[in-house]
Structure 1
Amino acid sequence: MTTTRQPKGVPVGGQFAPDTHTESALTLNSVPMTKLEAGFKEARRLQQEKMAQLTFEMAATSAAAIAARTKAMHPTARYAVFHTDDQQWHEFRPYAVLDADRNELVIKNWLDPSNGFHAWADGDGDEDPESIHMLANDLEDHGGKLDGILSEKTAGPGANATIHLDLDKALEIS
């Protein structure tokens, strides 16, 4: 098979030969940038509003789950107590269960594993998504909407704080 080629310097034929093509039907929208920016800001505002609502619902649901689990294990319980740590992440860690008179029913005592703390706080283990330990992490971002249900009672040293969850009120909001 032979191919005939145009000699060098001859601008006709071949791969780059001029040809007529139809124009594209694409037209650009002429919406002003200020209108686009306003639309983006409104979408961002709605997204943040929805995130705040979902975060509150998650915190309220977790508070109710903590309350239900605690009441099932300790029927006379009224408060679940959480303690924040001094580390960079101030997560709420389970600390104690109190009755209505604030007497300790269960308190964190690492030296005595028979006191019931581990069964209450960890359930089937720290990685159990329904454990009090895991659910407590959701309480951190309640945005103040659990005020009266979740309250800071005493400040501790450094960044520590002791937080009390009113179990009866948590069950009312669920």
Structure 2
Amino acid sequence: MRPRAVLIGAPGSGKSTVGRLLAERLGVGFRDTDADVETVAGKAVSDIFIEDGEARFRELEAGAVRRALAEHDGVLSLGGGAILSEETQRLLAGHTVVYLEVGLTQAVSRVGLASARPLLVLNPRSQLKKLMDARRPIYEALAVLTVKTDERDAEQVADEIMKGLGA
């Protein structure tokens, strides 16, 4: 069992929105590893960061990704930083990984500057830029398909992914 598509990308790239739409079009289930982490921890991702720290969150996230890659055969959305784990990078080899590429301006507009996202608390625009710059090479290396999301709605992005999947 393996996912039809694994969506990766920065916060604000549209992984959850596009993922749900793509899953619907493909007639498969949708799964988000951030939601899996929240279920296991019994609290929101932001609370895990505050109460338990980023290291604990990353540990929970790596487990969620490992389980989802083994159990889920639909569309899977990974948290933006899940790809930082070397284990996750290895596990993604051979999967249909779709990188949703978003520019800083669009990401800021979609995420919002008053975001509850834990890594963007202080100076969100600057933090988001650093995070995107650091992760971009990993996203690009893992992707078998890259789809630009700037100035496009979820329908257009899903259309392009469908074409790329040959569906």
Same fold, judged at TM 0.5 (above): no
Q: Give TM-score scaled by structure 2 length.
A: 0.26
Q: Which has the higher strand share?
A: 1
Q: Which has the higher helix share?
A: 2
Task: Look at both structures and tell me which one has the larger radius of gyration over its CA atoms.
Answer: 1
